[in-house]
Structure 1
Amino acid sequence: MKMKKLLFLFILLFTINLSASSILILNSYHKGYEWSDNIINGMENFFYKKRDLDINILYMDSKRVTSKEYYESLEKLYKVQLKNRKYDLIIAVDRFAYDFILKNYYEFFTTEPILAVGIENFSYEKAEKYGVANRVSALLEKRDLQGNVDIIRTIFPSIKKLYIINDKSLNALHTEPLIYNLIDNFNGSFDLIYLKEDNLENLKKKFSEKEESSAALFIRFYKNKNGELNKNQEIADFIKNAKIPIFVTDSIFIKRGATGGKVIDLNRFGQTSGQMALDILSKKTNKIVESKDLYYIFDSTKLGEFTLPVDALKVPYELVNKRLTYYDRHRGFINFVFTISPLLIFLILGLIHNIYMRKQVEKDLRRRIEFDETLLNAIESPIFWEDFQGVIVDSNETFCKLLKLTCKDLYGKKLEDFKNNKYVKSVIEILDKYKQNEDENYEFDYFDDNLKKRIYLVKQEKFKDEKTKSEGFVTIFTDITKEKEITLEKQKNRQFVIQQSKLAEIGEVFSSIAHQWKSPLVEITAIAQELFYTKKCKDLKEDDSFVKDIMNQVTYMTNTINDFQKFIMPSNKEIEFNIKEAIESMLQIVHHNMKYNNIKISLYIKEDTKLEVYGYKNEFMQSCLNIVNNAKDALLSKDYKNRRIDIKLFNEKNWLIIKIKDNAGGIKKKNMNKIFEPYFTTKDNGHGIGLYMTKVIIEDKMKGKIFVENVEEGAMFTIKLEQNR
């Protein structure tokens, strides 16, 4: 008998389980995407309270992956997963899932009804196109834009500008008709501005500063221009940190920085979806319903931050993050005290303790003030505060010593009150010059009574005391004397290294001069000998010819040594010079050496090229000489029949471009990023500072740019010099 009862019970349970309805939920997005998760949580909570249902959820992840190949792969995957499954209802969460089901309905299903949840627009024509119009129901998510504008107008009567923020996603296109309809039919005293953006950083920057009488209505902003999905926390941080009130249309960002609005409660929206699903399972009817799950919710903290009252609203509303009054926070305690009056003594003792603690805090505060004053006076830089009218509020003792005045005499007065004081007069002049261009740091020299020079850097910042609403300026004179001395010493050392680099080239230049002078000396010797041995001839014209030949050779040698002398002299100041002349002078120095080694150098100048630049001519020549000598060494290290160095000059916008190219085979890839480093060399006897100093001269001294690359047969150095400095 017992066995029969157990068998009957097992059959009954098995039959009930088989009779449980089976629902497939296809989510457009991924697990963890807050919008869809809230809706599905609402549905699941509703289902589990009402009926025993078999629920299967599939995630399409269409926010993060949108390629055609991905959707084709999903189709193949779902064909396998759903092949032997039978469902009583298919629920599509948002547009991507709904479109996917329409397109592939007869691949996966037969006669199952469809419930589309969260889409904004429904098209019967689209459903009829796929032959499923009689099977589709929909719960539309309609954002009440006009309702939110009316709310903002009511609680923010002084508003002059309302931004409507939307992104450039496909979902945004479904909301745009509502936005344009709102703008076209709007009749109000303030401007509606549709802000369609695709970069969250741009929004953060735009609303990072306070904009009077402005607010924003946030629709959505989920993807940047590059397709990267913004996390809800990033969007919430933007909304929270914005300097204007931001209203929203759904509940995701309530309690996370939004001021509030007429919003769709996504969890309740999910519960309504669940009820609609059960109705479809019971009645097997289809209908299109517009969601009514709209609620007025506001953040009390944000309302207080922007001084926005909601008392004028004539609809029920909910406040979140509400600031509790003292009574709200201690309601139980106060009720308890009034109920049991003898315990009032404990409250009195608590108040006495509170007074005692306040006294202790005051003592600590005084100590802190004294500490801050001591710390301030310990700073060697002169500092003083003045209000917006120029009255000195406070300063440190260093500033008073700078002016040769007592701090007591300064406080409560303006600097103009001490114009007869020469030190004050100097400070006033310095501040006037600084205010003419606050973007640049202004330096000035100060001489004390012992005529000892000090160099100060002026910096002035505006301050505002939020408690007293007072404004003014803090001025700091930073002593940079030591830093300037160190900088000057570095400049001297750098000039020394430049000269050292130049001397390293002198050996080769001397060799070049020796070759250049050898031929004229031989010629002079031959002419002199010929004149000596033919002196018997008294022909005056012949003597003049000998003298002329000798003088030509001497002139050539003189010009050679003059060019060399000009090259080795350091440039003490910047001048305007002609790049062509500088390069030709440099080439004249190495001409004989290049000719002797069968290296052809060509100089090409594009027509109408502006050749004048501002800088250090000799140092520029040294830079070019370093590059040319390196090219020469590279050409000589290998057996090249056609050795060539090409120099080209041309203009590009405000730059003069110098390109020096050789055909020596190029620079090894592993050395490409090292050749401008100090003491790096690939030569056996190289010093490794030539190209380093070339970079220092071009980029530091002449504010230009230099880089190298391999091209065709060799390497090419490019120098860019700005012409409008």
Structure 2
Amino acid sequence: MKKLILITILFTTFLFANSSILIINSYHKGYEWSDSIIKGIEKTLYSHPSIDMNILYMDSKRISTSEYFQSLKDLYKVQLENRKYDLVITVDRFAYDFVVKNYNEFFKDELILSVGIENFNKQRLKKYNLENKVSALLEKRDLKANVKLIETIIPSIKKLYVINDKSENAKHTEPLIKNLFDGFKGRYELIYLRENSLKDLEKRFSKFQENTALLFVRFYKNSNGVLNKNQEIAKFIKDAKVPIFITDSIFNKKGAIGGKIVELEKFGKTSGQMALDILEDKKQIIKVSKDFSYVFDALKLDSFTLSINQVKEDYEIVNKRVTFFDKNRGFINFVFTISPFLILLIIGLFHNIYLRIHSQKKLKQRIEFDTVLLNAIESPIFWEDDKGIIVDSNLKFCNFINMNAKEIYGRKLSDLRNTNSSLLVNILKRFNINKEENNQFKFKTAKNEVGTFFIKQAQYCDNKTKKSGVVTILTDITKEKEIEKEKKKNEEFVIQQSKLAEVGEIFSSIAHQWKSPLVEITTIAQESFYNSNSSLNEDESYVKDIMTQVNYMTKTINDFQEFIIPFNEKKVFNILEAVNSMLEIVNHNIKYNYIKIKIDVKENTNLNVNGFRNEFMQSFLNIINNAKDELLKNDIKNRYINISIYNEEKNIIIKINDNAGGIKNEDIHKVFKAYYSTKKNGHGIGLYMAKMIIKDKMNGKLSVKNLENGASFKIILENV
């Protein structure tokens, strides 16, 4: 075995004897991304003492002008003159593009290994006759896996930002981001963000955003070319009020939640091994790196109340809490060394430590489970001890009062300097005075939505600590209230429709009884005409007048009988014809009250709508009658009601204007409410029913406003 190892060492020493490698780094020494890769390369290549390495730094992060690259080219000509290398390793895109473009001026037959680029185009190399000389280890960040990971850890996510800067390197990541967006299923909002500066990012994410996360691809350069220091980027990640996931190991342990990251040092070791393979076989190698690891920061997970129990892949936890065993390891070892007589005690101690760790693990799992379960409840919940100090709450409660957990725990609700918490204090005070009457309240949530909540409180007592307190649960009953309100409206509508149906039946009976006497009157008039000895002209005029009045009464009865019958099916009808029919019914009432009605229909107006003709006529009649009553009540001279009909986009507009003086400002917003009337003996149901018919049954809109001389009602319906 020893001989085999010795032979292997001698063989590899011979194989790589006097091999020389040049590493050209796109960036400056001290730039963590490239330094980590080079560190990994060195660890691999330094195991072969016979390999000579030289490193050049281009510093293209800080300076990237064409004049600078020309100066760099002139410098390298001098430095590389009469130097021969077996392999040239370029780290990242700037070095790769620089070497390919100037290969013939720097080198002769050297092989190239490009490390850390994201795209490889062999066709481009043909231009420089290098298609068989360049190998590449591609670094492709796994954006899709990170997005899937974020969805697993934050299942309720509503918004995900993907952060990239506006640098040259960022352009090569664009295909990965485009591929990510093309495959996105759209369950939530996915936003590609390229801000101008790190300051803009800090401002945007300085406040907590519920169900929001950020995938950090890169932001090393501002749009004005200023390079952001890693310490500045790390500070932004640490201070951000939304969870940030990363794609490489630079900002590991620096404030990010974690993610599926590229292990840069491990990536460098793979690059070093690939360099050895190229030196050995002299063959071109193109492959994509798979040096990924799942890494999570325990402190950041706790701060955002996130659990990774559902993550199935193997992962590493950093920034763990130090256990008792870790703190006292030296003392335990010392006792174990100097106290052989206490071995049984030590065994017992280890056993207890094991049990404690095991119990802590179970407890942690239980706490995480309880936290996830509690945060899954839609209702805001919080605990107060017997002194009124907040002991715990779920995430919904924090969002409810628009504060984070650190700001509220250990403090009284009344001590919190927050508008929402102050309102809640007053609400709970009223609740405690009368729990039956004040157990419901309206509240504007963090999303600026007004909801109705139901208060429920229960006493609790911890059997171990003997501490007691109150649990308060705020249940959102907004939807239930809306359903209840809608149900009440429908019941009122059904009752009114039932009344109208009964009136229709009664009127049909009356109309049937009236028609017979009208026929008799007609017959008597005709017989009187033929039996009379009077002059023909006098009798003919007399009978003609009687027949005219009888025909008018018959037509009026038929029109009103047709109007009063409700219909259950929508039909296409002509708005102008319906308006004229309605006005025919009330013509005498309008005419003998000296009210002028004018109808103005714009040319080429589409007058057809799909709906309930009689119900529309009923709504129109309510508006006309209201206008008539107001005109009579105010004793207005030159009374008029103007009706305008015209099209607007795909809708038909009907405006009814009068000169009755308008509606009082304190009443105009209430006229459509049920049982609200400005009339002394009014029932307050007419305009309410009109609104319901136009809005709920015909999918339209009904509104009112005051003009200079009176009120203006506006009906909007969809054209057919």
TM-score by length of 2: 0.46
TM-score by length of 1: 0.45
